[in-house]
């Protein structure tokens, strides 16, 4: 919003979470379980506070973001009547840093992420569906409340063990802070994977090709800083892990999607997106000292070609060398080999840093990764 710092809503939300987490009313004290009791209303209270806080820093998904609101309405029509009881809303927020949902049904989308979702001509609706269906699943599952109850249950279990054991008499079942953090992270990761699965099924029923999910994962992973792990969150699985866990479900929902939409172009999401899986590269030196780097690729829904861009730093090089190669990526395991004959690649350290980008025929980014390896 004009005149407002982009960091303001994010910092304010963090402060709100911390204060509200500590000061939840005694009547809402949870049981050591992830089940949400019917009388639990703290998530509704929290949602009201989040909305009042972020409303001035956000705006409705209109104009260039109107497709987000349209996709949301398409997805909601797939929900059973008894679960479509939330105040559903999509809002674009500056400085939110991500896509996140409030328990009342409001989904806040960071402005930069919203631009990324709309950056693919012809694929915008499908990418929005992949993002929003995941958040819708969090909301209808009441995952905010489930996480709160689980964390408080861990804290209560730890406190009970300390009290019962007494000083110097901790039992083997005592939940220490490190163990509790590990359990909470594992619980949160499972919630994310469950929301991935339910969201995938929801968007498939609504007419969006399931391949938009890995396409979104790869697009988000390709954003600056992601490959280097600058934004690693232990409560969320890695993008690769999420895709691997969904492999069997991809096959199932793919068949259902084909049954529902035999003519894919006529579906709400349109034609499926190009998805590129890039495997781990390998490096070796040839007999004449040239550095050879091989990258395995697997492409789906590709009708033309892709361009592989390699930025490589090796040996005594102070700056990366950029190489490009176009491929049809026609096999299940297409191998792309680059040869770096420069003098820098023939001397010094065998350490290699490779930054790999895969672009479609219009120059749009499909996949990005960074690998560090040793040339053999």
- Take residue 342 and report the two structure tokens written for it: 């420069």
Task: Give the DSSP H/E element, type plus range, for residue 44.
Answer: helix 42-54
pLDDT of residue 3: 32
Cα 52 to Cα 58: distance, rounded to the nearest angstrom: 11
- Greatest alpha-carbon span in the chain: 75
- Which residues does residue 278 pair with via DSSP β-bridges, in sequence order? 297
Question: For the chain, percent helix, then strand, then coil, each to nearest 5?
Answer: 45, 20, 35
Position with higher pLDDT, 97 vs 214: 214
Model pLDDT, residue 55: 87
Please state which of the ranges 68-72, 100-104, 157-161 shows the lowest mean pLDDT.
157-161
- Is 336 or 182 the better-scoring residue by pLDDT? 336
What is the reported pLDDT for 244?
84
What's the whole-number mean pLDDT along residues 177-206? Answer: 88
Q: How far apart are CA 55 and CA 194, in angstroms?
A: 29
The residue count of the chain comes to: 376
**For 72-86, 168-182, 229-243, which range has the lowest pLDDT when averaged over its residues?**
168-182
CA atoms within 13 A on the CB side of 186: 7
With vertex at residue 143, the alpha carbon angle to CA 47 and CA 136, rounded to the nearest 5 degrees, is 80
**Unique residue bearing structure tokens 């034609």:** 271
Where residue 119 falls among pLDDT bands split at 50, 70, 90? confident
Q: Is residue 368 within 8 Å of residue 356, measured between CB atoms?
A: yes
What pairing do the DSSP bridges indicate for beta strands 306-314 and 351-359? antiparallel
H-helix or E-strand containing 67? helix 66-76
Residue 340 CA to residue 104 CA, distance in Å, equals 55
pLDDT classification of 14: cutoffs 50, 70, 90: very low
Confidence of residue 162 (pLDDT cuts 50, 70, 90): very low
Give yes or no for residue 207 having a pLDDT over 80.
Answer: yes
pLDDT at 94 over 70: yes
- The proportion of the chain whose per-residue pLDDT surpasses 70, expressed as a percent, equals 77
> Per-residue pLDDT averaged across 162-190, rounded?
61
H/E stretch holding 250 reads helix 247-260
Q: How far is CA 313 from CA 57, 223, 291, 316, 317, in A?
A: 42, 21, 11, 8, 6
- Is residue 173 over pLDDT 60? no
Confidence band for 4, pLDDT divided at 50, 70 and 90: very low
* Cross-strand partners of 296: 335
User: Rg (Cα) of the chain, in Å, rounded?
Assistant: 24
d(CA 275, CA 127) in angstroms, rounded, equals 12
Are 159 and 177 in contact, with CB atoms under 8 Å apart? Answer: no
Residue 161 has pLDDT above 80, yes or no: no
Contacts of 77 (CB under 8 A, 6+ apart): 206
pLDDT tens column, 322-374 = 999 999 999 889 999 998 765 555 555 567 888 999 999 989 899 998 888 87
DSSP annotation of 30: P
pLDDT digits (tens, 9 = 90+) for 15-30: 444 444 444 443 444 3
Q: What does DSSP assign to residue 63?
A: G
Residue 216 in contact with residue 132, Cβ under 8 Å? no
Q: How far apart, in whole angstroms, are the C-alpha atoms of residue 298 and residue 166?
A: 58
Task: Tell me the per-residue pLDDT of 308-324, one tens digit each, with 9 for 90 and over.
Answer: 999 988 765 667 889 99
Mean local confidence (pLDDT), 80-108: 88
Residue 259 confidence (pLDDT): 94
What stretch(es) of the chain map to CATH 2.60.40.2550? 275-374
**Per-residue confidence (pLDDT) for residue 374, from 0 to 100:** 76
Query: How many degrees, rounded to 5, is the angle at CA 45 between CA 51 and CA 99?
Result: 40
Q: pLDDT averaged over the chain?
A: 81
58 or 222, higher pLDDT: 58
CA 74 to CA 151: how far, in whole Å?
34
Rounded mean pLDDT of 250-259? Answer: 93
- Give the pLDDT mean for 253-260: 94
Q: Confidence band (pLDDT; 50, 70, 90) for 169?
A: very low
Q: What angle do CA 365, 237, 221 make, to 5 degrees?
A: 10
pTM: 0.82
Does residue 129 contact residue 212 with C-beta atoms inside 8 Å?
yes
pLDDT of residue 341: 67
Architecture field, domain 275-374? Sandwich (2.60)
């Amino acid at each position: 919003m004009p005149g407002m710092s982009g960091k303001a809503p994010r910092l304010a939300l963090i402060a709100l979470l911390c204060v509200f987490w500590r000061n939840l009313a005694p009547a809402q004290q949870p049981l050591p379980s992830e089940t949400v009791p019917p009388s639990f209303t703290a998530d509704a209270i929290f949602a009201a506070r989040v909305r009042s806080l972020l409303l001035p820093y956000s705006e409705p998904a209109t104009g260039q973001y109107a497709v987000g609101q349209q996709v949301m309405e398409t997805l909601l029509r797939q929900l059973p009547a008894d679960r479509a009881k939330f105040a559903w809303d999509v809002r674009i927020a500056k400085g939110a840093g991500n896509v996140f949902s409030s328990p009342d049904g409001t989904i806040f989308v960071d402005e930069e992420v919203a631009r990324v979702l709309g950056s693919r001509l012809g694929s915008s609706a499908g990418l929005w569906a992949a993002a929003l269906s995941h958040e819708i699943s969090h909301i209808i599952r009441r995952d905010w409340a489930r996480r709160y109850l689980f964390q408080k249950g861990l804290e209560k279990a730890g406190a009970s063990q300390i009290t019962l054991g007494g000083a110097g008499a901790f039992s083997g079942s005592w939940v220490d802070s490190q163990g509790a953090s590990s359990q909470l992270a594992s619980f949160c990761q499972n919630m994310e994977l469950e929301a991935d699965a339910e969201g995938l099924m929801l968007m498939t029923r609504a007419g969006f090709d399931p391949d938009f999910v890995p396409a979104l994962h790869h697009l988000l992973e390709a954003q600056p800083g992601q490959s280097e792990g600058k934004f690693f969150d232990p409560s969320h699985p890695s993008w690769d892990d999420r895709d691997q866990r969904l492999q069997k479900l991809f096959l199932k929902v793919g068949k259902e999607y084909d049954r529902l939409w035999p003519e894919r172009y006529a579906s709400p999401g349109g034609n499926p997106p190009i998805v590129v899986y890039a495997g781990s590269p390998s490096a070796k030196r040839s007999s004449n000292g040239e550095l050879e780097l091989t990258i395995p690729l697997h492409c789906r829904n590709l009708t033309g070609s892709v361009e592989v861009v390699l930025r490589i730093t090796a040996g005594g090089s102070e700056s990366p060398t950029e190489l490009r190669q176009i491929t049809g990526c026609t096999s299940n395991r297409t191998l792309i080999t680059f040869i770096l004959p420069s003098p820098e690649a023939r001397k010094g350290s065998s350490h290699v840093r490779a930054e790999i980008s895969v672009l479609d025929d219009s120059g749009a980014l499909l996949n990005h990764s960074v690998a560090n390896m040793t040339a053999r």
